[in-house]
Structure 1
Amino acid sequence: MFTYPLLTPAEQASLPTLVAEPNPIQAKFEDSTHQLFYCQTTDGEMVLKVCHEATIRSSHFWLGANHLFAANFPDSLGDIHLTHHFLQKNGALTVPGFVAANAQRFVLTRFLAGKDLDAELIADDWVIQLAEHIVKLHQCTYTSWGQLHAPKLPAIEWSGRLHQTITFLAKQKGTLIDKTLLAEVLANAENIRETEFVPMMLDLRWDQFRSGTNDLALVDLDAFVIAPRALDLVLLEYVLTPTQLALFKQHYIQTHNWPEHGADKSCYQLLLFLMNILGETDLEKWMQQI
């Protein structure tokens, strides 16, 4: 008899019966907050994602997401089925079928056939599909922000909470953050007045996607929040190459305007750096990249 790795007997009692020993899927980053396993069951191929609780507690990404957006991770895994349903209804990409989840512990989803993307080999069609997906998500607008399924934080609190989060994360980095830059960013944060909030994937990177024959699929769904549209676009400017960004914009501006960067730019740049979004360790290089 086969068992699901790292799960208690009670947790796996109602899960589909395994027909082979689950195989570990190699983590893409040393600080990965989850352990992944490929599982063959009587109900088909699946992927088990188990929280690595010690890593989550020390993750700058989740420290930032929980502090700023009240993301409540990993407790929020208990509601991740709602994220699957939301993206199936409001997004433009394939997402894995939801099977089961347990708050703080694990998610079990259906396996999506295809290949993991290589950030160095991104097809134009995938950029267009991503643009179509973001365009659809940005059509869902909110006047409050926070958790994807319960954005209860009022717009007036954004600047103050952003200021607090940048201060909090900068302390975690210690002496690595230039004090002059930090003071300038914090001053700018006080003047930000965001009024438009949209669904955002905080950890959007190409390695979170898979490609089928032609279709792009999104496989990692646990970091969606309701955030300022400007923050989402700043992240995209980091993820996309200049050529990809130009192609993305061609499709995006058919439906939405592309806002000019203001005082928010440096704030959002530093926030993303402190959350270790793309793993960059050179702050000066990061701030000059866009």
Structure 2
Amino acid sequence: MFTYPLLTAAEQASLPKLIAQPSAIPNKFEDSTHRLFYCQTADGEMVLKVCNQATIAKSHFWLGANHLFAADFPNSLGTIHLTHHFLQKNGALTVPDFVAASANRFVLSRFLAGNDVGTEIADQWVIQLAEHISCLHQSTYHSWGKLHAPPLAAHEWASRLHDSLVFLTKQHDTLIADPLLAEVLAQAPHCHETEFVPMMLDLRWDQFRDSQINDSGDHDLALLDLDAFVIAPRALDLVLLEYVLTPAQLALFKQHYTRTWLDHTVNTPCYQLLLFLMNVLGETDLATWMQFKPLVAGKASPN
């Protein structure tokens, strides 16, 4: 008899019947918050994600997401089927079909064939990402926080941002000792925002897959990881994109992004610090991170 790894008998009683023992999928990072398993079932190929509670409790990323956005992870896995449905309806990328989930414990979704995106990023993926983000940014909100029924009012953003920056700085202990820290924290209470959109807080290329070639012969970009979506200021999403994309990719992205690119200069340092403290891209040198400048007036950034 085959069993789902790390799940109790009660948890797996209603799951699709396995036809082979699941095999572990190697994690890409030592601090990954899930254990992954490839599952062959009588209902098709699937992927099981099981929470690593000890890692989550120490994760600067999830500490920030929960403190600032009230993301309520990993309890929010109990409603992650709503995220699957939201992205299938409002996004422009393929996402895995939802199968089952349990709050604080696991998610089971259908396996998407293809190859994980590597270091060579095709232009068509940048275009597809721009089309996807454009679709998501058409959904605007006056409140923010968790993706479904965001509970926080716009006027709460600045104060919660400041409090979360202070909270996250304390989690880093002596690592954060840069003299610009006080200046950025002083600006945070003035970071007022009125436009909020769906945002993937951990957007990185390794969260995507090059799915199988479609009928036109092109490769489609598929989004694999859905548990870090929140409603956030559009400016914050743009700051993250400016880090993720190279200058050439950013220029191409902007050509296919259907909304006006916000001038977020005033609030940029606060958002840069937030992303650093949440360890979104793994940078450990605060000075290097804060010195980053995006593509401006045709001049390339140093990334």
TM-score normalised to structure 2 length? 0.94
Which ranges of 4 or more aligned residues in structure 1 deviate by more than 3 Å? none
- Give the equivalent residue in structure 2 for 1:215: 220
State the alpha-carbon separation in 2 of the partners of residues 178 and 236 from structure 1.
26
The alpha carbon displacement at 1:225 in A equals 0.1
- Give the equivalent residue in structure 2 for 1:279: 282
State the alpha-carbon separation in 2 of the partners of residues 117 and 285 from structure 1.
26
- 174-183 or 147-156, which deviates more: 174-183
State the alpha-carbon separation in 2 of the partners of residues 193 and 72 from structure 1.
24
2:285 corresponds to which letter in structure 1? D
Does 2:102 match 1:102?
Answer: yes
- Give the equivalent residue in structure 1 for 2:252: 247
SS at the partner of 1:146?
strand
1:91-142 Cα deviation digits (max 9, x unpaired): 0000000000000000000000000001x20000000000000000000000
- The 5-angstrom pairing of residues 166-245 of structure 1 reads 166-212=165-211, 213=213, 214-245=219-250
How many aligned positions are there? 287
The alpha carbon displacement at 1:178 in A equals 2.8
1:270 corresponds to which letter in structure 2? L
SS at the partner of 1:2?
coil
Alignment match of 1:260 (pick from 255, 258, 263)? 263
- Give the equivalent residue in structure 2 for 1:158: 157
- Give the equivalent residue in structure 2 for 1:85: 85
State the alpha-carbon separation in 1 of the partners of residues 208 and 262 from structure 2.
27
State the alpha-carbon separation in 1 of the partners of residues 255 and 28 from structure 2.
31
State the alpha-carbon separation in 2 of the partners of residues 259 and 97 from structure 1.
33
The alpha carbon displacement at 1:152 in A equals 1.2
State the alpha-carbon separation in 1 of the partners of residues 264 and 148 from structure 2.
28
The alpha carbon displacement at 1:286 in A equals 0.7
Native 8 Å contact 2:178 2:286 kept in 1:
no
SS at the partner of 2:151?
strand
SS at the partner of 1:151?
coil
State the alpha-carbon separation in 2 of the partners of residues 265 and 152 from structure 1.
24
- 171-180 or 140-149, which deviates more: 171-180
State the alpha-carbon separation in 1 of the partners of residues 83 and 262 from structure 2.
27
- Give the equivalent residue in structure 1 for 2:131: 132
1:247 corresponds to which letter in structure 2? L
TM-score normalised to structure 1 length? 0.98
1:3-49 Cα deviation digits (max 9, x unpaired): 00000000000000000010100000010000000000000000000
Native 8 Å contact 1:189 1:263 kept in 2:
no
Structure 1: segments with no counterpart, 5+ residues: none
SS at the partner of 1:160?
helix
State the alpha-carbon separation in 1 of the partners of residues 237 and 177 from structure 2.
25
SS at the partner of 1:231?
helix
State the alpha-carbon separation in 2 of the partners of residues 250 and 287 from structure 1.
26
1:209-260 Cα deviation digits (max 9, x unpaired): 00122111001000000000000000000100111000001111xx211111
State the alpha-carbon separation in 1 of the partners of residues 190 and 52 from structure 2.
38
2:78 corresponds to which letter in structure 1? G
State the alpha-carbon separation in 2 of the partners of residues 52 and 81 from structure 1.
20
State the alpha-carbon separation in 2 of the partners of residues 179 and 89 from structure 1.
43
SS at the partner of 1:108?
strand
State the alpha-carbon separation in 2 of the partners of residues 216 and 179 from structure 1.
39
Residue identity over aligned pairs, in percent, reads 75
State the alpha-carbon separation in 2 of the partners of residues 48 and 30 from structure 1.
18
Native 8 Å contact 2:144 2:153 kept in 1:
yes
- 8-17 or 171-180, which deviates more: 171-180
Native 8 Å contact 1:148 1:199 kept in 2:
yes
The alpha carbon displacement at 1:69 in A equals 0.2
Native 8 Å contact 1:91 1:133 kept in 2:
yes
| Residues 263/178 of structure 1: CA separation in 2 closer, same or farther (3 Å cut) | farther
State the alpha-carbon separation in 2 of the partners of residues 19 and 74 from structure 1.
29
The alpha carbon displacement at 1:179 in A equals 4.8
Structure 2: segments with no counterpart, 5+ residues: 214-218, 294-303
State the alpha-carbon separation in 1 of the partners of residues 287 and 179 from structure 2.
12
1:216 corresponds to which letter in structure 2? L
- Give the equivalent residue in structure 2 for 1:121: 120
